[in-house]
Every structure is written in C-alpha cells, then in structure tokens.
C-alpha cells in the first residue's frame, strides 16, 4: 500500500510541472507558452487553446502543418502568419479551413501568406465588408462558396497556380468589377460567379475543361465572352450564362479549323441568348514593339555655308532664351556663357574653329576625365572632353558643327 501511495505521489509531482494535451490522437507534452515575438510577424506563438494574439485559432497537424480553423468574429483586419509555434514546434500554415472566417462581417482586410495552398469551403462567407483579396501564388483550389456573399468585394487576384474555382466561390459578389481567370484553371464550378453584375467581359482560358451550371448566371453587365480554347469544354452547361441579358458577342479565335468552328457553334447555340453573335478574331496578343534606337547624330561637314548655319535651330533657340533670375547664380552663369557663345556661333559659320572663352571661375567646364551636363533654356547639353578639339585651362575649342551638334543633343 505504501508503495502504491509513493507511485501516486510521484505521478502527481510530475503532473504539477507538465500539462498533458491530446491533439490528433497523440499525447503531447505542453510547455509554457512563450511570448509573441514582435520582431517576427511571419511566426505567431500559440496559447494553450491554439490561438494567436489576433484571435485566430489553428489546428496543428501531424505533418507539421497548421490550418486556420476559426476567427474572432469582431476582428476587422487580419494578417495570417506563415508559421505558428507551439511547445517549441513550428508549424507551417498551409490551409484555411471551411467556415474559418464565415460571418466576420466587420473584416475589411486579410493578408494571406504564400505558404497557404488551399482555401476551404465558405472560408470567407458573408464577409460583407471585405473589399479586396490577393490570393497568393501557390493556392491551387478555391473552395465552394469561399467568398460567397462578399458583397463589398471589388477586386480579387486569382494566381496562375489555381486549377479549380469551386461551386459558388464568388456567389453574389455584386461589387466585383472584373473577373480575371488565369490560364491553368481547369474547372469553374456551379454558380461560381452568380450575380456578379458589374464585370462587362470575361475571358475563359483554353485550359478550362469544365464550366458548371449557372456559373455566370445573372451576370447582367456582361456584354462579351472570349473563349481562348481550340475546342469547347468537355463539360459545358447550356445554362452557364443564363440570365446574361446584356451578352451580345462571343469571341473565338480566327485560326480555328472548320471542324473546330462547327464544334464551338454547336456548343454555343443553346447557351448564348437570342441576339448574341459569334465573332472570330485574332486572340494572339501582338508582340511588344522593338524600340527603334535613336539614329546616331552625324557631324555636319566642316564647310557649312553661312545660310545653313543661320537656319540652325540652335541659334534661334539661343536668340529666344530668357534671362534667368539673377538670384540663381548657376543658371545666370550658364546663360552668360552661352550668350557669349552666340555671337561666335554666327561668326563661325564659315566652318572655322570656334574658340570659346571660359571664365576662370566657371567650374562646370570639362576636365580631362569629366563629362558635363549643362541645362540651358530648358535643354540638356552634354559636353565631353572627346568633343573638344583642344582645350587649355581657360579655353576650350570646338568647331561650329560640333557645338551645334552638342546643343542638339
């Protein structure tokens, strides 16, 4: 009896310093929760109830991943961390559970980390104050009703990693202004964009093989639909665009074969409303134009005539230059310099070497290894040592043609 009592006392002593928690069928020793690090926003430390300091609750999985399972319904802004820590173990947040943020009607913004790969059914159902969502690249599926009834949602970014858009995923997102379905999506569920009344056009990528019943039902602002595929989706409901009363044009690629055109027309004839037409056009985006390099300025011959020199825009621009504010010393210095040059420009029309006198205190003139950018009358003028025929400490020499070319630059 004394031996049994001693064992019980020892067990009680052990339990007084350690708490045993049951998670996912395993017994795990719990250590005191560490304080949340304010310096590391990508990792949140959980309390004994697997909650972080924002009011998010998590399920910790055996494969060292975590799922966001619930949220304090009063939150207005959430930044989901990439990792959570519990009992010294770090878990990567990879999914948002069904109904995790459901009915959080005051939620205005949510930041989803790149570690998340799936968004569950009704995950953000009726988050009516949510205005925009950037779904990170890496998410492969958007669950049924994931953003349904988010009536304030105006924009959503769907990454190219997504392959399926669930039933009613954006049901009644009546403020959504555009629908951009990336190439790579293979299925669009039933009622996926039902009553998204504001988009005026939608492009269905060639990767889509299934468009569900009433997928775009009552998208009353929709005037055109473009199908990028060579053939119609294998699962294509005749009521996918039911109630799209403004739909006037369906665009198909103009490089379809006659057989492919027939297949499309047969698939569309029971789907599009009366009065909607099918048009074929080039759906391949034009390549970006190759920028044309500016032609290399050529140096005019040294024997330019006086008449040619007189018609040079350089001289005319110098004639109309306005004197700068005297308080602007640098601008005044440059102005005076070019005013001194003006008369010499006219006199140098015979092609002889032009000698430009440089004031000793004019520090912006070029040295041996210096390129000088001057601004005169709103124009940029670049003078390099290579342009000068010869120069001394206080003088620089250019031909008339060279100086005109400089000014033109």
SS3 letters across 351-374: CCEEEEECCCCCCCCCCCCCCEEE
- Are residue 222 and residue 317 in the same domain, yes or no? no
User: Token pair 């005026």 is at which residue?
Assistant: 200
pLDDT at 41: 58
pLDDT at 378: 41
Q: Structurally, how many domains does the chain consist of?
A: 2
- Are residue 193 and residue 81 in the same domain, yes or no? yes
Domain boundary among 246, 269, 294: 246
- Distances in Å between the Cα of 386 and the Cα atoms of 295, 398, 401 are 20, 10, 14
CA-CA-CA-CA torsion sign (324, 325, 331, 334): positive
Domain boundary among 196, 213, 246: 246
- Are residue 237 and residue 317 in the same domain, yes or no? no
Q: Is residue 255 part of a domain?
A: no
- Are residue 310 and residue 242 in the same domain, yes or no? no
- Are residue 227 and residue 325 in the same domain, yes or no? no
- Are residue 224 and residue 311 in the same domain, yes or no? no
Question: Which residues, 6+ apart, have CB-to-CB distance to 14 below 8 Å?
Answer: none
Q: Is residue 161 part of a domain?
A: yes
pLDDT at 294: 61
- Are residue 211 and residue 349 in the same domain, yes or no? no
Q: Is residue 57 part of a domain?
A: yes
pLDDT at 280: 94
Query: Which residues partner with 139 through β-bridges?
Result: 137
- Are residue 104 and residue 224 in the same domain, yes or no? yes
- Cβ(82)–Cβ(114) under 8 Å? yes
Q: Residue 126: which CATH number?
A: 3.80.10.10
Which domain, by its residues, includes 210?
19-246
408 CB neighbour count, 10 Å cutoff:
13
pLDDT at 337: 64
CA 120 – CA 249 distance, rounded (Å): 35
By CB neighbour count within 10 A (0-12 exposed, 13-18 middle, 19+ buried), where does 317 fall? Answer: middle
- Are residue 142 and residue 240 in the same domain, yes or no? yes
Q: Is residue 106 part of a domain?
A: yes
Question: For every residue of 27-91, which 3-state class applies, written as one string?
Answer: EEEECCCCCCCCCCCCEEECCCCCECCCCEEEEECCCCEEEEEEECCCCCEEECCCEEEECCEEE
By CB neighbour count within 10 A (0-12 exposed, 13-18 middle, 19+ buried), where does 91 fall? Answer: buried
Per-residue pLDDT of the chain (409 residues; tens, 9 = 90+): 444 444 343 433 433 333 333 233 333 333 333 333 333 457 999 999 999 999 999 999 999 999 999 999 999 999 999 999 999 999 999 999 999 999 999 999 999 999 999 999 999 999 999 999 999 999 999 999 999 999 999 999 999 999 999 999 999 999 999 999 999 999 999 999 999 999 999 999 999 999 999 999 999 999 999 999 999 999 998 899 999 999 999 999 999 999 999 999 999 988 888 889 999 999 987 666 666 666 655 555 554 444 333 333 344 444 455 677 777 777 776 666 666 655 554 444 444 444 444 444 444 443 333 333 444 344 444 444 444 433 333 334 444 445 554 544 3
CA 379 – CA 192 distance, rounded (Å): 57
- Are residue 38 and residue 116 in the same domain, yes or no? yes
- Are residue 133 and residue 217 in the same domain, yes or no? yes
- Are residue 231 and residue 319 in the same domain, yes or no? no
pLDDT at 322: 66
CA 319 – CA 197 distance, rounded (Å): 62
Domain boundary among 229, 246, 263: 246
Q: Is residue 213 part of a domain?
A: yes
Q: Is residue 98 part of a domain?
A: yes
Q: Is residue 5 part of a domain?
A: no
Q: Is residue 131 part of a domain?
A: yes
pLDDT at 295: 61
Calculate ∠ Cα 182-184-187, nearest 5°. Answer: 95
């Amino acid at each position: 009896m004394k031996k049994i009592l001693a064992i019980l006392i020892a067990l009680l002593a052990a339990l007084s310093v350690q708490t045993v928690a049951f998670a996912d069928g395993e017994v795990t020793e719990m250590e005191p929760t560490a304080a949340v690090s304010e310096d590391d926003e990508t990792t949140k430390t959980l309390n004994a109830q697997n909650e972080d300091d924002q009011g998010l609750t998590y399920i910790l999985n055996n494969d060292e991943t975590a799922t966001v399972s619930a949220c304090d319904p009063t939150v207005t802004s959430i930044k989901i961390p990439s990792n959570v820590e519990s009992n010294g173990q770090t878990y990567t947040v990879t999914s948002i559970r069904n109904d995790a943020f459901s009915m959080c009607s005051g939620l205005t913004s949510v930041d989803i980390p790149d570690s998340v790969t799936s968004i569950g059914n009704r995950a953000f159902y009726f988050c009516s104050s949510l205005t925009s969502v950037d779904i990170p690249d890496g998410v492969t599926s958007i669950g049924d009703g994931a953003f349904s009834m988010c009536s304030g949602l105006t924009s959503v970014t769907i990454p190219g990693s997504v392959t399926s858009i669930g039933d009613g995923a954006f049901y009644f997102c009546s403020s959504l202004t555009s629908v951009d379905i990336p190439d790579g999506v293979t299925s669009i569920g039933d009622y996926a964009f039902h009553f998204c009344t504001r988009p005026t056009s939608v492009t269905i990528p060639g990767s889509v093989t299934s468009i569900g019943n009433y997928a775009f039902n009552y998208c009353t602002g929709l005037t055109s639909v473009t199908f990028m595929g060579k053939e119609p989706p294998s699962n294509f409901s005749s009521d996918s665009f039911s109630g799209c009363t403004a739909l006037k044009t369906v665009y198909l690629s103009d490089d379809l074969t006659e057989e492919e055109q027939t297949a499309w027309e047969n698939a569309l004839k029971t789907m599009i409303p009366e009065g909607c037409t099918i048009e074929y056009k080039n759906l391949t985006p034009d390549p970006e134009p190759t920028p044309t390099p500016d032609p290399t300025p050529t140096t005019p011959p040294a024997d330019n005539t006086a008449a040619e020199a007189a018609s040079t825009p350089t001289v005319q621009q110098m004639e109309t230059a306005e004197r700068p504010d005297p308080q602007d010393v640098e601008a005044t210095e440059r102005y005076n310099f070019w005013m001194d040059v003006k008369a010499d420009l006219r006199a140098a029309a015979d092609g002889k070497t032009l000698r430009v006198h440089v004031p000793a205190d004019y520090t912006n003139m070029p040295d041996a290894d210096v390129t000088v950018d001057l601004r005169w009358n709103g124009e940029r003028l670049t003078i390099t040592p290579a342009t000068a025929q010869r120069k001394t400490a206080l003088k620089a020499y250019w031909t008339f043609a060279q100086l005109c070319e400089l000014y033109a630059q």
